Structure 1
């Protein structure tokens, strides 16, 4: 009987313990559900607040859309003006593109024309040289034994005239009226182009001096030959530089003739040094330098308040 009582007690205690555990689990579940419920309520409240804010923004946007529609209706009368501005801008871009293309084409044509002019100049120089050689050959054939005597007489006459100019000075026949001189020089040139040509001529002069191509001499010994060439080169360039420092657009005729006379006399006296002489091509370069320098000087005198590229290139030259 006691045993049955104890067994019953244990069973009841076990059932009671099990019931307590289930109750605790349900309490924890209930607490968890309550927490989730509270969280859900909070989330719902937040969503409701966000929804209210979105409704407010939506209403604001609707109001702004209405205002914008009103403004568009008011500005629609200016649509033609906007279309015109767009058309003008488009045409402006087209014109700028056309101008750029035209500029590029013009530069290409200019370079092509310069090349053709240079080729023509070389052709004319060659033609002139051939004509001179042909005339000389004809003169040799006609004069026969008297040819050398005639050449010598012509040479002596040229030297005599140069000496006469040096002794008596240069008369008014070498002083050109300023306007006539400018008309002759300015033909085919602009101020900047003349300055560029002057720079190019001076570059050729410097290259000829550096390459020792100013003159020639018939000395066999190299040192004596180079010394004789250097002597006549120095004398000739000293004269040319002196005239150039005094050059003005109304005195270019005097100095051109003076340099030509110096060329004749230097080559004449250079005969004593195994025919040391200046090349005629170098004389032409320096005479071209005189003409271009006079032209640039004239442009400079006409534009005293606009130094610009013209004066800068004269200084750099």
Structure 2
């Protein structure tokens, strides 16, 4: 029995010994692998040290790049701050300029009023006579022009004439502007805002404005129907004379007069029409000159 027990114990010890030997073999293999990895790492470390030694001479360049990048960020921040401050300063300067302009306009207006008041005070009744004299001279000149005439001859339906002119040359800028000016003129006539009157009664006031505006527009349409690119200055002067005379005679009817803004609209209509007519004449003469050159 004891021998049997010892055999069993011996077999168990042999099994344990075999297992231990196997474990030891595995550990030795792992140890060999670790030694191999360690040697590989040592080799890589050696290579990296060599590369570091080679690249160490360029460290100053790396430091300079970092310095430049840092300074660039600082400059960009400074530029942004300066730009913001400049925009603020610019807006402030614009406001100051606008305030100064208003102040100068007010000062100029007050100076003119002051000079007029001083002139009235010094000249007394002569001041009104001077103003009246200037008005009479303008009226006299306008009447003289009317007596001598402007060379008016043929008359054409002005609205049809302008409609055809705009339709024929609607692609040029002057025709588009003329169309807009005519729209403003029609609106002013429809709203009866081309003039003013001091009659208190509304019906008399509107009637007087309508009458004076009708007379003025009849004159303007008459000149416009005969307008060409060579006579625009002549008809502009004629309409300005009519403006002076109509406003002068309108004084007897509740101080009825044509607004200067309405005169400017009609004069602008003259100028734009003359531009289109000049363009039309240039187009018509161009082909004929080309044909002559070919002949």
> Structure 2 length as normaliser, TM-score?
0.50
CA RMSD in angstroms, aligned pairs only: 3.0
2:252 is aligned with 1:275:
no
Alignment pair present for 1:288 and 2:268: yes
Instruction: Tell me which residue corresponds to 2:35.
Output: none
**Residue 142 of structure 1: which of 101, 119, 134 is its match?**
119
Cα drift, residue 235 of structure 1:
0.2
Q: Does 1:165 align with 2:145?
A: yes
Please state how far the C-alpha of 1:302 moved relative to its aligned partner.
1.1
Deviation at 1:200, TM superposition (A): 1.1
Distance 1:131 1:164, change over 3 A: farther
Report the Cα offset of residue 191 of structure 1: 7.4
Q: Mark the CA change 1:128 to 1:196 in structure 2 (over 3 Å): closer, same or farther.
A: farther
CA 1:257–1:305 in 2, change beyond 3 Å: closer, same or farther? closer
SS class of match (2:175): helix
- Answer yes or no: is the 8 Å Cα contact 2:150–2:235 preserved in 1: no
Aligned partner of 1:265 in structure 2 is: 245
Equivalent residues of 1:249, 1:297 under 8 A apart: yes
Conserved? CA contact 1:162–1:262, under 8 Å: yes
Pairwise CA distance, 1:273: 0.6
**For 1:22-64, what per-residue CA distance to the aligned partner results, in whole angstroms no more than 9, with x for missing partners?**
xxxxxxxxxxxxxxxxxxxxxxxxxxxxxxxxxxxxxxxxxxx
Aligned residues: 163
Give secondary structure in 2 for the equivalent of 1:141: helix
Q: In the aligned structure 1, how far is the partner of 2:114 from the partner of 2:236?
A: 30
What is the distance in 1 between the residues matched to 2:262 and 2:111? 23
The answer to whether the 8 A contact 1:236-1:263 is kept is yes
Looking at structure 1, the residues matched to 173 and 106 of structure 2 have their Cα atoms a distance apart, in angstroms, of: 28
What does the per-residue CA deviation read over 1:241-268, in whole Å, with 9 as the maximum and x for residues that have no partner?
0000000010011100000000000001
Say which SS state the counterpart of residue 217 (structure 2) adopts. helix
Aligned residue for 2:228, secondary structure, equals coil
Shift of 1:131: 6.3
Residues 296 and 277 (structure 1), Cα distance of their counterparts in 2 relative to 1, 3 Å cut = same
Between the aligned partners of 2:107 and 2:190, the Cα distance in structure 1 is 29
Q: Quote how far apart the aligned CAs of 1:168 are.
A: 1.9
Q: Check whether the contact 1:140–1:147 (CA below 8 A) recurs between aligned residues.
A: no
Q: Deviations over 1:213-248 (max 9, x none)?
A: 100111111111111001000000000000000000
TM-score (ref. length: structure 1): 0.47
Tell me the distance in 1 between the aligned counterparts of 2:234 and 2:221. 14
Shift in Å, 1:207: 1.2
Query: In the aligned structure 2, how far is the partner of 1:277 from the partner of 1:258?
Result: 17
| Deviation at residue 134 of structure 1 after TM alignment | 5.5
The answer on 1:226 being equivalent to 2:206 is yes
Take 2:271 and 2:109, find their aligned partners in 1: how far apart are those partners?
25
String of CA shifts for 1:168-222, please: whole Å, max 9, x gaps. 2359xxxxxxxxxxxxxxxxxx971111111111111111111211001111111
* 5+ residue gaps, structure 2: 1-103, 152-169, 287-295
Q: Aligned equivalents of 2:186 and 2:179: distance in 1?
A: 11
Report the counterpart of residue 201 of structure 1 in structure 2: 181
Gaps spanning 5+ residues in structure 1: where? Answer: 1-126, 172-189, 307-317
